[in-house]
Amino acid sequence: MPHLDDEIRQLAARRHLPDTHLDRWLSLDEPSRAALMEAAGLLRLRTGQLVVALDLLDEIAVRESVSIASVLARPSLHRLLSAPGSVPERAHAFLDELRAMRFPRLRETTARLEAAIAAMRLPAGIAVLLPRDLASDELTIQLVASDAGELNRLIDLLVEKRAELSRILSMIGGGDEV
Amino acid sequence: MKFELDTLVVEEASRDSALAARLVAALGSSVPVSYVADAREAVRPTPGPDPFGAGKRRMVVLKRHTPFLMACPAGSAKFACCGYLVLVLASNCPMDCSYCFLQEHVANNPAFQIYSNYADSFEELDRLSRSAPGRHFRVGTGELADSLAMDSVTGLSKDLIEFVRDREHLTLELKTKTDEIGNLLQTDPRGRVIVSWTLSPEAVWKSSEHRTASPSARIAAARAVLDAGYRVGFHLDPIIAYEGAEKDYAHLIDELLDVITPGRISFLSMGSLRMTPGLRSAARRRFPHDPMLLGEEVPGHDGRLRAFSALRVRLYRIIQQRLARAGRPVPAYLCMETSTVHERVFGVAPANPATIGERLALG
Ligand code: SF4
């Protein structure tokens, strides 16, 4: 498909895509090359976004033993190509969806933990922060108070929520609920 | 098991060694043999698409000029460790696991090196024992190489076993992914030798552990050496948290315990797959289609990528629960995990490394 490959090369040159990534793109099967070209054009992916998309797509395809074209044809991704809304927002959502596909259990676990934190209905002065990428089993609890009365109120509230917080900590550490 | 080599290079200073003689006699008719004054060039990467893979097929016999004995590279004050000491008798290995840390660790000197003056290590071991009278040490040869991969031609295991079997303060650990046990079955270890196998489910073996013995063959080999008077241990390391891993690891434990009763297992270590970003890049370059290298790993405090905490701890716990069901306890420990993770898995804090090492050495 010389015409498609020329288009890919031209886009890569405009975006200063690293040679390694261009080579990887050109080495894909034809439907995958074309599908990625379509996504890159419709979402106007910038260099960094294109690099990340190529990496994620490649990894998803290897993990699931499928082609990149079939990943890009999934409704959750395909919808974003032509959905209303700003192009940069759709490009951002596209990469986010790719990340969710690449790390499905991490996404699911994070969502469950975030739901458990939200269910505690903590006031604005208390923030319960999950470890980045759930890489460790440490929960950070942040209190913001500007006077002693407010601080005491937040601490009392935290003590009340001890059981829920312990449950969250256990979930982060691989407790049975995860 | 037979491994293909492209060439055998012998450094002149090792030409008259017993090891070189054994290797030339065993391989000389099938592999070109050359002699070089200085082997430094021969151990370096050669140009080509896969210098590391080519290094595995270039065996170099040379003298080691640095100490043979070192602390386990996985050891750290941050982790719950097992106090293992490493005896470096060779570097690199003829098998090819996609996740192998050697791809990064010996990238600049990837030839499959075997040290002709390995007997000098015996003096180091005696010095170590003299330095701490009354202490027991567990020393293994399987860190920078597989302990048994070429044993049918090197015969190293026989010399090592003969050395340790009269030394009550030493326990030798031979660590392997092969079923290369011919020499072991002809040698009486007098209880001083543990042979340990790294075990993985079939899915990991097929996808990632190229040229290794199958998991069933490893378990059968373990049973055979057990019956011949050796102690046996197992490493579930790396544990890979792929989709379906929980069922597969539970099945692997069942398969193991069907063949070897829990009371006869000296130890079982567990460690999840961990890769530095450099190793991951090297491994992905060499094995771009292996899904096992693409789990849900995230960077941790030490910069290494591991499956996120909840996922890997859950897998450890499932394995530990399976072991606990076995009736008699299997001495299990974690490799390169924090004390907190250890407590979450076993319900107790880990002992200090020296204590664990000594306990494992004593059996
Ligand atoms: S058997 Fe061990 S040393 Fe050999 S390639 Fe596999 S992990 Fe590396």
Domain boundary (A69, A85, A102) is at A102
| Exposure b/e, A116-149, CB count within 10 A at least 16 = b | bbeebebeeebebebbebbbbbebeeeeeeeeee
A166 and A86 within one domain: no
| H helix intervals, chain B | 18-27, 40-43, 51-56, 102-105, 120-131, 151-154, 156-164, 182-185, 202-208, 215-227, 245-259, 277-286, 309-324, 339-346, 353-362
Q: What is the CA(A35)–ligand 1 centre distance, in A?
A: 39
Alpha carbon distance B120, B46 (integer Å): 30
Residue B45 burial class via C-beta count within 10 angstroms: exposed 0-12, middle 13-18, buried 19 and up: middle
- What is the per-residue pLDDT for B340? 87
The whole-angstrom separation of Cα B192 and Cα B167 is 8
Residue among B89, B99, B177 to mutate when testing ligand 1 (max atoms within 8 A of CB): B177
Which ligand 1 atom is nearest residue B56's CA? 5
For residue A41, is it within any domain? yes
Task: Among A59, A103, A174, select the one facing B313 at the smallest CB separation.
Answer: A174
Same domain, A61 and A146: no
Task: Give residue B359's pLDDT.
Answer: 58
Question: Which candidate from A59, A62, A135 shows the least CB-CB separation from B308?
Answer: A135
Give CA–CA dist B297/B302, Å, rounded.
Answer: 13
Residues A68 and A136 in one domain: no
Would you identify the CATH topology of the domain B66-102+118-362?
Answer: pyruvate-formate lyase- activating enzyme (3.80.30)
**Mean pLDDT of chain A, nearest integer:** 95
Angle (nearest 5°) at CA B101 between B96 and B105: 110
Q: Ligand 1 centre from B197 Cα, in Å?
A: 11
Statement to judge: residues A91 and A28 lie in one domain: yes
DSSP line for B3-55? ---SEEEEEGGGTTSHHHHHHHHHHTTTS-EEEES-THHHHSPPSSS-HHHHH
Residue A147 located in a structural domain: yes
Q: How far is it, in rounded angstroms, from Cα A65 to Cα B290?
A: 10
Q: E-assigned strands of A107-153? A: 126-129, 140-143
Question: Of all protein residues, whose CA lies closest to atom 2 belonging to ligand 1?
Answer: B146
Which chain A residues contact residue B311 at CB under 8 A?
105-106, 109, 174, 178
pTM of the full structure: 0.92
How many CB atoms are located within 10 Å of the residue B352 CB?
Answer: 12
A97 and A118 within one domain: no
Angle between the N-to-C axes of helices A104-119 and B309-324, in degrees from 0 to 180, rounded to the nearest 10: 100
pLDDT tens string, chain B, 363 residues long: the values are: 678 999 999 999 999 999 999 999 999 999 999 999 999 999 999 999 999 999 999 999 999 999 999 876 555 545 445 567 899 999 999 999 999 999 999 999 999 999 999 999 999 999 988 888 888 888 999 889 999 999 999 999 999 999 999 999 999 999 999 999 999 999 999 999 999 999 999 999 999 999 999 999 999 999 999 999 999 999 999 999 999 999 999 999 999 999 999 999 999 999 999 999 999 999 999 999 999 999 999 999 899 999 999 999 999 999 999 999 988 889 999 988 888 899 999 988 877 655 555 556 666
Residues A93, A116, single domain; the answer is no
Structure tokens at B124: 């180091």
Question: Could you tell me which chain B residue has the CA closest to the CA of A24?
Answer: B288
Are the beta carbons of B299 and B275 closer than 8 angstroms?
A: no
Q: Do A77 and A64 share a structural domain? A: yes
Mutate to test the interface with B, among A136, A168, A169 (most CBs of B within 10 A): A136
- The answer to whether residues A87 and A110 belong to one domain is no
Q: How many domains does chain A have?
A: 2
Judgement on whether residues A12 and A77 belong to the same structural domain of the protein: yes
Side chain identity at A10, as an amino acid letter?
A: Q
What are the b/e assignments for B319-334, b being 16+ CB within 10 Å? Answer: bbebbeebeeebbbbb
Mean pLDDT calculated for residue range A8-22: 96
CA distance B290 to A59: 10
**Contact A97/B at CB under 8 A:** no
Question: Which residues of chain B neighbour A175 with C-beta distances below 8 Å?
Answer: 310
| Positions of E strands within A75-168 | 126-129, 140-143
Neighbours of A48 (CB within 10 A): 10
* Among B50, B71, B59, CA closest to B23: B59
Whether omega for the bond prior to residue B288 falls within 30 degrees of 0, making it cis, is no
The residue type found at B120 is D
User: Among A102, A135, A159, which residue terminates a domain?
Assistant: A102
In-domain check, residue A13: yes
The identity of residue B195, as a single letter, is: V
> Pairing mode, if any, of strands B170-176 and B193-198?
parallel
Question: Residue A57 above 60 pLDDT?
Answer: yes
Instruction: Give the amino acid at B292.
Output: M
Question: Residue A137 is nearest to which of B294, B309, B317, comparing CB atoms?
Answer: B309
Pocket of ligand 1 (CB under 6 A): B 93, 95-97, 100, 102, 146, 177, 212
- From CA B332, how far away is CA B253, in angstroms rounded? 12
The model's pLDDT over A106-138, given as tens digits with 9 standing for 90+, comes to: 999 999 999 999 999 999 999 999 999 999 989
CA of A121 to the centre of ligand 1 (A): 51
Distance CA B149, CA B142 (A): 10
Residue among A74, A69, A78 at smallest CA distance from A29: A69
Are A92 and A118 within one domain? Answer: no
Angstroms from A173 CA to nearest CA on chain B: 5
Confirm whether A27 is domain-assigned: yes
* Residue from B309, B334, B344 whose CB has the most chain A CBs within 10 Å, to mutate: B309
Quote the pLDDT of residue B82: 55
B97, B98, B113, B204, best to mutate for ligand 1 pocket (most atoms within 8 Å of CB)? B97
A141 and A159 in one domain? Answer: yes
Q: Do residue A7 and residue A37 come from a single domain?
A: yes
| Residue A127 belongs to some domain of the structure | yes
Average pLDDT over residues A141-151: 96
Q: Provide the domain limits for residue A41.
A: 2-102
A140-143 and A126-129 beta bridge pairing? antiparallel
Spatial neighbors of A174 by CB under 8 A, at least 6 apart, are A137, B309, B310, B311, B312, B313, B314, B316, B317, B344
How far apart CA B79 and CA B355 sit, in angstroms, is 14
pLDDT tens digits, B133-174: 888 888 999 889 999 999 999 999 999 999 999 999 999 999
CB distance B111 to B60 below 8 Å: yes
CA distance B207 to B273: 14
